[in-house]
Every structure is written in C-alpha cells, then in structure tokens.
Amino acid sequence: MNRRPLMLAITLAIGAMSMTAAGQIAVSYTPENAPAAIPANTAKNAEIIDANSTLNTRVKSAMKTHYNLASFNISVITRAGIVHLSGKVPSSVLIDQAESVVGDVEGVREVDNQLTVSGS
C-alpha cells in the first residue's frame, strides 16, 4: 500500500509541516494554524460552578424565609458573586425588599435587580 498520497494529503491539510531526517513529521504552529485553546483548569471551572450554585441556593433560601417574598416566582441567577433577579412582584416595596434580603446574603457582591411591578 502506497502511503505517500495519504501523507501528502495530511501535510497539505495541516499546513506548516515538515519531514525530519528520521522520517518524523514536525509541525510548526503559527497563529493561523494553532490549535484551539484548551480550557485552563477543569477543576477550577468546577469550583466556580459549585460556588455559584452554593450562593444561588443561599439566596433562594433567604428569599423563601422572608415572608413577603416567599410566595413570588423570582428567578435567581448567580455568577461570580453577582446575583441577577428577575420576575414580577405586586409592588415596588417588594422589589426593594428583595434587593435588601439578597444583598445581606454572605458572598453576594452585587445585586442586579431586574424585578418589575406586575399589572393589577
């Protein structure tokens, strides 16, 4: 079986390749043909996801224990200590209360309060 056509096709497909004296393929990467970046540390990514999940759980728990907020469907998304609230509540007072309750949860750096007052 003649492997030269296959080797030529591989060489052309990959780009900047050369054959060493020992018959090995040497690949030189340039910005144009460099491989895609590999995620830095999957363990670190898992820690971040776990921290976001833990904080999200604490925020939801704090809102459920607050008697004025417990009955409303408020969406909570947490990323890097920033808590995004969205949904509808019957009054602006409840919007302020939600922001206050969430802001008091340990680990919350910022509250992005996108709650709106529902129509009567």
Residues 111 and 71 in one domain: yes
pTM of the complete model: 0.61
Residues 51 and 105 in one domain: yes
Residues 108 and 56 in one domain: yes
Residue type at position 55: L
Q: Which domain does 66 fall in, by range?
A: 42-117
Residues 109 and 75 in one domain: yes
- Could you report the per-residue pLDDT of 94-105, keeping only the tens digit for each? 999 999 999 999
Query: pLDDT tens, position by position, for the chain (120 residues)?
Result: 555 555 555 555 554 444 555 555 554 445 555 555 555 567 777 777 888 899 999 999 999 998 888 889 999 999 999 999 999 999 999 999 999 999 999 999 999 999 999 875
Distance CA 62, CA 51 (A): 17
Cα distances (angstroms) measured from residue 21 to each of 8, 13, 27, 29, 51? 17, 21, 14, 20, 52
Please count the structural domains in the chain: 2
